[in-house]
Chains A and B, each alone.
Chain A
């Protein structure tokens, strides 16, 4: 099961993922992402510090928004991946398509830098 918290103060749309994302719970992630895209959020960051596991279906959700982000010039950053999840990202090659940083500070500074 997964719980997804949305925090959109200060212009940055922040998704806080808590739990595991498998085939059935990936729909919650998709809902949260589609809301961000529909609202044309320019800066999105995903807090994965409490994401324990992600299945291929969950990764597919991120992948499916790649094009939207590119077209909308959305800055998208993922941070706080645990080793297991990070390994999966790397194995599939997502680390070279998404901005994946270790901490929230890194994520914020990335967003600030690219804005400037």
Chain B
């Protein structure tokens, strides 16, 4: 079973009380035996054993009740020690008082009574000594090093050793006693110099600490005098003055208190400087941490304003926040009326400071002189200004004011500079973070767009026994402007389309989806390719922006007659391979792009063409991304290379032809440098 902390503290206190009670009973019995010549057979070591157990339980109790020292609770710790001291001293004084009332009577001479009261004192003194010892231990081990922890352990073991040394029965001023006592005192002195916590007290706390520590010294003196007097005046069965442990602890506590008082006292004049530095560090931290906690830019300025005021002890301050056009959008003030700002500005003597205020300086070079004097009706006599420059843009101006002249020295200007720089970083980080989030969102949107657009291109190309088709398409950006589609009019007829929207990227992608809509509505009307183009041009003329156009080729294949009718509207010339001739050629036909000529004249600029095919012939549809692909020497891939590539691969099935053509393209120009969308469709007749 494990005891909770609360259980341990209660149980140890109970045991301490029991052992103290046993000590009392044993000692009184011994005394009673001595005076009445009775032998109770009590071993002489028994009371000392009881005393050791009493102390151990007290140590355990206070170990759990006195918490770790942290910079916020040094005074609490001292306060607890002071209160414990007060409580025990008052009780001890009450005992003295009772004693003095009965002082003349026979009772006061009764050894049993004397020893009873002395044991009460033992209890009180030990409570005070042990609790103070633990408190001092906490203070000493504040910001402990490994070495300090080790030497402190050694000191504690030495003290425990002293506790058992008592069992040998030496009393004060005997040589072995003095040697051990001397060693313990030396160890105590060594550790009494660990006063790091003093540095963390502010001015007020230092004064309070001196007060509490001085009272602790008084309690200690009182208890010591009390012990000596008891020892001198009365026959005692159990004399604490001969206990090396008690004396060592008392001496150590006393020494530590004296050192602490002296160190605090001599630290008093410098404490304001230390406090200031500490406040700077804290402000700095707040500035640098202000962004991750989800604060906005205004809050950074608020923190900058407050930190700057406290760092240089300014009387008043303001900060002007500007928009991108250097118009003041917001003014934050501290201890200052908004309408006083203008009169203060007019009282500025230094030209350089005026320039900062009206933002007349190079953003990358902040003026060197930032402090100045004020002459005017206002009560302020010195001014410090500093511009907040984020990504080489003047974002805000910090102004600090003091009522004394020459109130800002160079060091203060330096501190403000560091603060402002930290604020700059915070604001910059804040913006970067926001920008990154935005970009991330756009990326997600684009991913969706890519997916949607992919679905616009037919995933599967319906083929029948007459023809086999393989397609490939790649966009330069996330979305592209290349379009191809297929439609089975009936079992003998198939319509194919390939197109390229002018421009690229998002706008091209939008127009491509419009093209798809137009294709699917027109293709069902069984139009000739030329009629298709005329209607498509008319439709696109109504929805394309003026600078956009679409190049398109439409093919209508008739498997029964083995003929292909087609119309080219500004698109790349069709590449045709004849198996019989084993050569490929481009169809040189006339045709204007869609959306260029937006009136009825358009029909005069497109023509209906046709050809016959045989089994094994190939038609290649492609976009200009293929022929206009350039290599490192800025040469275009061109028509002849495409033609040769087709002739090389013509005997293969369509899928391999398509792969062969793309591989030939890639061996000419690096895939990564291709900056346009490119698509290719291989149509092979069976």
Give the B-binding residues of A (Cβ under 8 A). Answer: 23, 30, 55-57, 59-61, 63-64, 66-67, 84, 91-94, 96-97
- Please, which residues of chain A bring their CB within 8 A of the CB of B504? 23, 57
Taking a contact as CB atoms under 8 Å apart, the answer to whether B570 and A92 are in contact is: yes
- Please, which residues of chain B bring their CB within 8 A of the CB of A30? 547
Whether B546 sits at the interface, judged by CB under 8 Å, is yes
Whether B500 sits at the interface, judged by CB under 8 Å, is yes
10 closest cross-chain pairs (CB), A and B? A93-B592, A56-B502, A60-B547, A64-B547, A92-B570, A64-B546, A57-B503, A92-B593, A60-B502, A63-B596
Count CB-based A-B contacts (< 8 Å). 64
Nearest-neighbour CB distance to chain A for B653, whole angstroms, equals 30
- Please, which residues of chain A bring their CB within 8 A of the CB of B546? 63-64, 67
A-B contact pairs, 10 of them (CB 8 A): A55-B676, A56-B624, A57-B504, A59-B549, A60-B549, A64-B547, A66-B597, A92-B549, A92-B593, A96-B592
Taking a contact as CB atoms under 8 Å apart, the answer to whether A57 and B502 are in contact is: yes
Whether B591 sits at the interface, judged by CB under 8 Å, is yes
- Please, which residues of chain A bring their CB within 8 A of the CB of B596? 63, 66, 92-94, 97
Mostly helix, strand, loop or mixed at chain A's interface?
A: helix
Map CB proximity to A onto B585-625 as digits: 1 under 8 Å, 0 otherwise.
00000111101111000000100000000000000000010
Taking a contact as CB atoms under 8 Å apart, the answer to whether A59 and B502 are in contact is: yes
Taking a contact as CB atoms under 8 Å apart, the answer to whether A60 and B503 are in contact is: yes
- Please, which residues of chain A bring their CB within 8 A of the CB of B592? 92-94, 96-97
Taking a contact as CB atoms under 8 Å apart, the answer to whether A60 and B591 are in contact is: no
Q: State the CA gap A91–B596 with chains docked (Å).
A: 13
Nearest-neighbour CB distance to chain B for A23, whole angstroms, equals 5
- Out of B505, B547, B569, B624, name the residue touching A63 (CB < 8 Å): B547
Map CB proximity to A onto B374-397 as digits: 1 under 8 Å, 0 otherwise.
000000000000000000000000
Nearest-neighbour CB distance to chain A for B626, whole angstroms, equals 14
- Please, which residues of chain A bring their CB within 8 A of the CB of B569? 93
Map CB proximity to A onto B557-591 as digits: 1 under 8 Å, 0 otherwise.
00000000000011111000000000000000011
- Out of B505, B570, B605, B636, name the residue touching A84 (CB < 8 Å): B636
Do A23 and B505 form a contact, CB below 8 Å, given A93-B591, A93-B593? yes
Q: State the CA gap A55–B628 with chains docked (Å).
A: 10
- Please, which residues of chain A bring their CB within 8 A of the CB of B605? 93, 96
Least CB separation from B501: chain A residue: A56
Q: State the CA gap A36–B563 with chains docked (Å).
A: 49
Mostly helix, strand, loop or mixed at chain B's interface?
A: loop
Q: State the CA gap A97–B595 with chains docked (Å).
A: 13
- Please, which residues of chain B bring their CB within 8 A of the CB of A55? 503, 676
Q: How many residues of B contact A (CB 8 A)?
A: 29
Among A23, A30, A57, A60, residue most surrounded by chain B Cβ atoms (within 10 Å) = A60
Among B502, B572, B591, B595, residue most surrounded by chain A Cβ atoms (within 10 Å) = B502
Do A56 and B590 form a contact, CB below 8 Å, given A63-B547, A92-B596? no
- Please, which residues of chain A bring their CB within 8 A of the CB of B591? 93
Nearest-neighbour CB distance to chain B for A25, whole angstroms, equals 12
- Please, which residues of chain B bring their CB within 8 A of the CB of A63? 546-547, 549, 595-596
- Please, which residues of chain A bring their CB within 8 A of the CB of B598? 67
Nearest-neighbour CB distance to chain B for A24, whole angstroms, equals 10
Do A56 and B549 form a contact, CB below 8 Å, given A92-B593, A93-B590, A93-B605? yes
Do A91 and B547 form a contact, CB below 8 Å, given A23-B503, A57-B503, A60-B502? no
Q: State the CA gap A112–B592 with chains docked (Å).
A: 29
Q: State the CA gap A30–B225 with chains docked (Å).
A: 103
Least CB separation from A30: chain B residue: B547
Do A93 and B570 form a contact, CB below 8 Å, given A60-B549, A64-B547? yes
- Please, which residues of chain B bring their CB within 8 A of the CB of A57? 502-504, 547
Nearest-neighbour CB distance to chain A for B569, whole angstroms, equals 8
Q: State the CA gap A56–B502 with chains docked (Å).
A: 5
Q: State the CA gap A63–B572 with chains docked (Å).
A: 19
Among B500, B545, B548, residue most surrounded by chain A Cβ atoms (within 10 Å) = B548
Whether B551 sits at the interface, judged by CB under 8 Å, is yes
Least CB separation from A92: chain B residue: B570
Do A56 and B500 form a contact, CB below 8 Å, given A63-B547, A92-B551, A92-B592? yes
Nearest-neighbour CB distance to chain A for B16, whole angstroms, equals 86
Q: State the CA gap A72–B596 with chains docked (Å).
A: 18
- Please, which residues of chain B bring their CB within 8 A of the CB of A56? 500-503, 549, 551, 624
User: B502-524: which residues lie under 8 A (CB-CB) from chain A?
Assistant: 502-505
- Please, which residues of chain B bring their CB within 8 A of the CB of A93? 569-570, 590-593, 596, 605
Nearest-neighbour CB distance to chain B for A66, whole angstroms, equals 7
Q: State the CA gap A106–B294 with chains docked (Å).
A: 68
- Please, which residues of chain B bring their CB within 8 A of the CB of A67? 546, 598
Q: State the CA gap A61–B596 with chains docked (Å).
A: 11
Q: State the CA gap A59–B597 with chains docked (Å).
A: 13
Taking a contact as CB atoms under 8 Å apart, the answer to whether A97 and B597 are in contact is: yes
Q: State the CA gap A84–B501 with chains docked (Å).
A: 20
A-B contacts besides A56-B503, A91-B551, A92-B551, 16 pairs, CB < 8 Å:
A23-B505, A30-B547, A55-B503, A56-B501, A60-B502, A60-B548, A64-B546, A66-B597, A84-B636, A91-B570, A91-B572, A92-B570, A93-B591, A93-B605, A96-B605, A97-B592
